[in-house]
Structure 1
Amino acid sequence: MSDKIVLVTGATGRIGRVVVSDLLQRGYHVRAVTSKSPPSEGVQRLEWRQADLARNDDLLPLVDGCDAVIHLAAEIGKKSRMRALNEDATERLAKAAQDARVGAFCYTSSVSVYGSGRSIEISEASPVLSIDEDNASEYWALDYVREYGRTKLAGERAISRVADQMRCIIFRPAVVVDLDQIIGIRDWSLVKRMLASHRHAHHIYVWDVSDALIWSVEQALAGRGTPGDVEIFNLAEDDRPQPRHIDFMRKAFRASGDPHYRVVSAPSAVDWLHDFLRFRTLPLRNPLWRMRFSSRRLRDAGYRLKFGMAQAEELALSRLADQAKAGAQTKAVPQNNTV
């Protein structure tokens, strides 16, 4: 059992819940931070702290005594809070961790920092968004999504400014999904299912994200890399077979018989036109679904995905088949009608 203490921010979020569980299963002590009311149940080796990182100026008490930090907390919806949490709080947390002599600081950024790439193939060396101004031509997206990408990139730069003796790792994950998100494509509107069906999903399984984050922390605590260095990795599985939404929907229909998974796939040209009418701009760049995010640098560093989307989809298909079977059995049970 490890005596290491890992601070996890955003501990009640989609990734955070898995990271906390993963760390506990591996024997770590976890100091979990959330801006919401923390769970009341007691779990051995788990300490909850409630804090709004965007408003709390003194973050040293959060990191004091910790060996590593996995910083997941982010604002993804409220544009007015993005700069305060995604950049300013990230810098203050990294500075506090540096002052507390934390050995490893791991930050989850996003592939949104690349915006709409000029090239289809995207590596960590590819051009990124402008930080200081919102240039709509750089990113074919809604304004709050552009702001998210810019502020996550600003958080990366803040860590680079702070890093001195602390080993820092930045991950840029693609679209992080759990089983509910994989299955949940059936809940999209019919138009969205038709338009998006041809798209490359860019999905990365949340348990793989957790495994990669913990792997990087363990590598840093073991002495990998130079103190003060900041390593940046894409985290994606864009080279897997059958990565499109329609590929999963076809398998899901066979497994469940749910008609929501049976759609007519719209041509990509229709998708282009829809986005042009939506954003009223035609940048000489690629929308997200055309881009491909390379994880070669992470593989070269020695990491391999623990699960992979093939296994995640099999779990999702198994759940769908079980749901379909349970539904059929419920319909087959005779009803007792009384007058």
Structure 2
Amino acid sequence: MDFAKWISFSLVIIFVYIIWQIRQILLLVFTAVVFALILNILVKKLASFGLKRGYAVLLAIATLLGIIAFFIVIVIPSLLVQFQDLYNLVPLGIQKLILEVDRFKYNLSSEWINSFPDLKQILLNLQPLLNDLLKRGVIVISGVFGALLSGLLLLALTLMILVDPLPYKEGFVRLFPAFYRSRINKILMLTKIELEEWLADTFIKIFCVFILTFLTLLILHIPLVSAQAFLAAFLAFIPYLGSVTSVISPMAIAFLYSDWKSWIILIIYIGIYHLIDKVIIPKFRKNRVVLIPANVIIGQVIFASFFGLLGLFLAFPLIIITQILIKEILIKDIFDHWQISK
């Protein structure tokens, strides 16, 4: 390897190292881009009614600030009380479940007992994993007000990208060689379309999950209906893992009052997610984004290990982008044109 190649290789290593060191900031920027795309959907909808983009952007920002104020003043205070009760009740329900499983195991033969997993040990093993996941969450600025300042930074980035996205796009495209910039423009447009399709699917899913879980828990007289429905809708942002996690809380609380209600909730929740994925979303969405489940779960594990809790929530859009980059750049632009020199 000659000197020029050594220099190029060293620069690549340095570049990768710098990217790794600022990965949390890059993830924050990506989150801002996702939020800007969400607001841009509203802007395009308003513009379709004849409103100029500038006024549509102002109306979208006012709507966003109004929603934030509504949640801070009205929704969050009431939910905090319910989440505190939820925090106290769920461990009691899990503890009762462990006692029931131990009682069931006691009536079995010793061979069957050894084949059952120890729920206490499983929970103990999960605790450090959850703690590590939370520690890796995106708090760019450390300290007492770190989370608040990170939130304000996220809001500022989102609004700046929404108001005038063109300079940021052009600046990113100019990082590539001139002969490849038109190709990068096409890839960015394809990525934008795919992310907007995913956001539309996700909004429908979140809305349906909230309504259906709220009605289910209300009919079954399960306490803390609003908090649990909100939690289920929030976790609906995470495909597969979120739907599995969302059923733990209502099942644990229902187990405190009635054993059979807990299993009814499990069956209904499975039916809800199946109905949404197989019937409701396909009915309203013709161009929905569909990924292989195994790829999604593997991607969630990888991005959660790299970026923490926010990486887990943003795993699906990150997987979409990764899939597009592999298909368009690695396969089409490199592998499909790879020729062996004679």
TM-score bin (small chain): under 0.3
Give the TM-score normalised by the residue count of structure 1: 0.25
Give the TM-score normalised by the residue count of structure 2: 0.25
More helix by share: 2
Asked which structure has the greater RCO (Cα within 8 Å, sep 6+), the reply is: 2
* Structure label with greater radius of gyration: 2
